Copies of this chain bind each other. A is one copy, B any other.
Amino acid sequence: MSSFEALAGDLRAALGESDLVTEPEELAYYGQDRCRGGWPVAPSAIAFPRDIGQVQALVRACAHHGVAIVPSGGRTGLAGAATATRGELVVSFDRFNRRCEVEAPAKLVHCDPGVTIARVHEAAAACGLRYPVDWAASGTAQVGGSIATNAGGIRVLRYGSTRAWVRDLELVLADGRHLRLAGNVLKDNTGYDLRQLFIASEGTLGLIVGASLGLVSPPADRLVVAGGVGGMPQMLALFERLRAGLSTLSAFECFDGGCVEHVVAHRGQGAQRPMAEDHAQYVVLEVEIERAGEGAKEAMTDQLMELLADAQEAGELDDAVLAASDQQARALWAWREDISESLHPHTPHKADVCVPVHRIAVFEAAWRDALASQLEGIEARCFGHVGDGNLHLNLLRPAAMSLEDFLARCHAFDDTLYRLVCAHEGSVSAEHGVGLLKRRALEIQREGGQLDAMRAIKAALDPGGLFNPGKIFT
């Protein structure tokens, strides 16, 4: 009897009858996330625990039989962290999703790990509150996975990433023990903050089996502006002006003129353009208005208009449109939100990098220089979150170039890019994590001593290498 067959017997005893599946199509579906890196997708089985006790039982069984575990949330990850390549058991949290309970006085939502972020948003809204972290995949992404990958998104500028909103965190460790790490107080200097270690650990240290997330009072209203800008230096100057003047600036997103062309082309015949004239760079920004009432809205509008007029005078801004209704606000946001989908037909090779905000213009220019000398003939598009220093860099495959040639050239360029990022003291993976995809990039960014320290911690908490082997570091 192979070790997996023996394990399967123990798992069937611990889980519900239908909560362990081995059908090939299920293995292919649950065996990977959204990253397609060319790795084998080869889990042994998919387990669907429904509570902490079942998770503990399956961890103990896997440890006993020597079968590794790949934790799996909404599988919206873009780095392969939820991909099973060598006969692991995939532990899906899809059915461990009963609890999503708002405790309004404490501004908390208590969640099972498989609850989607969209459900968190709905539950909070139903109580007049808001979970401030949001990103494109939040309809499918799950609480546990969002913590394990420290999801970011569009309002990090004002609210931070998921790390800033994790309060209590519940874990099952490699020995099957259940830990409940309390985090509901603002000040707590009682030893190492273990929660921080598990956040962004990509499932390599333990399984997240519950969390309380912090909530905020939603703003009463918002102002949304789209603007045309002459270049990244002006974009940066505009951002710094607004950031200094507006404490509730909640998003400041940029995209280059080429992105607009792709969105227009993607929308097809009759599509409008964002402004009367074309610009080298565009911005969509959002300012939140905390207090209800026309007075507060007028005051904030005046303040914003004054700052934008000053920016125009200083040459930082060429043109701007203020949304006059929520519908217009959504339409302005759509220019930013539709970019990824518009680029999709060109099989883009993506990078997700971060540099210190004040270096974003210098970095972007250096990236364009490197492209010009190394990737002539390949279109490059840049969009992202200026306020976080986070740029999404996309290389588009020319119609006449084979995918193989294209990827070979892109991969050769990646090393240049990542060294450039490190020279600007940046991060080779801002939001997407390391997983399987960026292990080489990680070695460019992090010196050996840091990787050794990470490995020592991994060995201390998971001595048998049970959780997500081969992810982050080899």
Copies of this chain: 2
Bound Cα distance A264, B441 (Å): 63
A: residues with CB less than 8 A from B are 105-107, 149-150, 152, 156, 161, 163, 173, 177-182, 184-194, 196-197, 199-201, 205, 217, 244-245, 247-248, 290-291, 299, 303, 354-359, 385, 388-390, 425-434, 438, 441-442, 445-447, 449-451, 453-454, 456-457, 459-461, 472-473
Residues on B with beta carbons closer than 8 Å to the beta carbon of A156: 186-187
B390 with A447: CB separation less than 8 A: no
Known: A180-B447, A245-B290, A450-B181. A427 touches B189 (CB 8 A): yes
Residues on B with beta carbons closer than 8 Å to the beta carbon of A185: 354-356, 389, 425-427, 430
Residues on B with beta carbons closer than 8 Å to the beta carbon of A425: 182, 184-185
Give 6 CB contacts A-B under 8 Å: A156-B186, A179-B449, A185-B355, A190-B441, A194-B454, A194-B457
B191 with A357: CB separation less than 8 A: no
Known: A178-B449, A457-B460, A461-B457. A247 touches B244 (CB 8 A): no
A191 with B434: CB separation less than 8 A: yes
A430 with B187: CB separation less than 8 A: yes
B427 with A190: CB separation less than 8 A: yes
Tell me the minimal C-beta distance from A269 to chain B in angstroms.
38
A197 with B197: CB separation less than 8 A: yes
Partner of A179, one of B193, B430, B450, B460: B450
Bound Cα distance A238, B186 (Å): 19
B431 with A187: CB separation less than 8 A: yes
Tell me the minimal C-beta distance from A440 to chain B in angstroms.
12
By beta carbon, the residue of chain B nearest A161 is B187
A291 with B245: CB separation less than 8 A: yes
Bound Cα distance A445, B434 (Å): 34
